[in-house]
Amino acid sequence: MADWLQSTVASGSLLLAVPVALLAGAVSFFSPCVVPLLPGYLSYVTGLSGADLQAGAERFRGRMAAGASLFVLGFAAVFVTYGALFGALGRWLTEHQDVITRTLGGLTILLGLAFIGWVPFLQRDVRVHAVPGVGLASAPLLGVLFGLGWTPCIGPTLSAVLTLSVNESSAGRGALLALVYSLGLGLPFVAAALAFRRMLGAVGWVRRHQVWITRLGGVLLVVVGLLLLTGWWDLLIADLRSAVADVLGETTVI
């Protein structure tokens, strides 16, 4: 495990991809399909009504945190599986890495434009509408359904992270990127459960600025796509690899 971690860090690629995955997850959380529905999500995964959540936010904090965490674990399991599969796929295609990287760059640009709202046919609602019963026991299953079917808003950002997983050419690294994406999307869920009343105020702010938040996320994806398409992504990775190697070399000497 230690050798894998050292080689992964020394490669430099995850040093660039991990922050992108984390930010992509956070952007997904603040999308129009997630933040405005937070009270509903929390009510469903805890089995508490909206009135109970507001009146007894402090009293039910443990239950709310547990429900949100179980919900996050559900969709994280789905995303990590995706990441591992796409990473393994990239490993099989390494001999065509240059062409694949540029193709994925073009796809990521398209996904960014879709997230901004300029590619309408990629924003059709294909959610899984069947849902389990309410309460803590159903929270993980609801998370799984969220991961499988909530594509209108998280689809472009998740797909961009999966393209980076393919570029990593490793099931382990692909799974790691998907896990980081899940943390970027999931930790705000848990934070909202722990600070429900403050979250209600934040929801109003996000709604007022949602267009710009969505556009910012789309621009992020377009920039990543351009880096992949032009080859600058690999150049940045090479620079990071060299910098990390120098640091590790100095540490070894010391």
pLDDT level of residue 2 (50, 70, 90 thresholds): very low
pLDDT confidence of residue 254: 41
Those residues whose C-beta lies under 8 Å from the C-beta of residue 69, and which sit 6 or more positions away, are 190
- Concatenating the DSSP letter of every residue in 217-250 gives HHHHHHHHHHHHHHTHHHHHHHHHHHHHHHHHHH
- The structural domain count of the chain equals 1
Residue 135 lies in a domain: yes
Taken in order 23, 29, 31, 35, the sign of the CA dihedral is: negative
Q: What angle do CA 243, 245, 249 make, to 5 degrees?
A: 120
**φ, ψ at 200 (rounded to 5°):** -60, -40
Residue whose structure tokens are 């490669």 = 11
The long-range contacts involving 50-57, CB below 8 angstroms and separated by at least 24 positions, are: 53/196, 54/196, 54/197, 54/200, 57/196, 57/197
Looking at the domain assignment, is residue 6 inside a domain?
A: no
Distances, alpha carbon 51 to alpha carbons 43, 44, 65, 131, 196, in Å: 9, 13, 17, 22, 12
The mean pLDDT value for 69-76 works out to 93
Among the listed residues 128, 145, 146, 155, the one whose alpha carbon sits nearest the alpha carbon of residue 218: 155
Q: At how many degrees (to 10) do helices 97-116 and 232-253 cross? A: 110
Residue 34 inside a domain? The answer is yes
Per-residue confidence (pLDDT) for residue 148, from 0 to 100: 78
Distance CA 250, CA 254 (A): 6
pLDDT in tens, 100-136: 778 878 887 887 787 677 766 555 544 444 555 566 8
Does any domain span residue 145? Answer: yes
The two three-digit tokens of residue 1, written as one number: 């495990």
For residue 3, is it within any domain? no
**8-state DSSP, 12:** -
- Give Cα separations from 8 to 19, 211, 212, 248, 251 (angstroms): 15, 37, 35, 13, 17
Nearest Cα to Cα of residue 69 among 143, 8, 145, 126:
143
Angle at 142 between CA 137 and CA 148, to 5 degrees: 145
Per-residue pLDDT at 175? 92
Any domain includes 2 = no
Label residue 89 by pLDDT band (50, 70, 90).
Answer: confident
Q: Which domain holds residue 31?
A: 14-253
Distance CA 101, CA 229 (A): 7
Domain contains 61: yes
pLDDT digits (tens, 9 = 90+) for 142-173: 888 888 766 556 777 888 888 888 888 788 88
Of the two residues 154 and 189, the one the predictor is more confident about is 189
Q: Which of 130, 108, 111 is nearest to 119 (CA)?
A: 111
DSSP 131: -
Any domain includes 120: yes
| DSSP state for residue 204 in the 8-state scheme | H
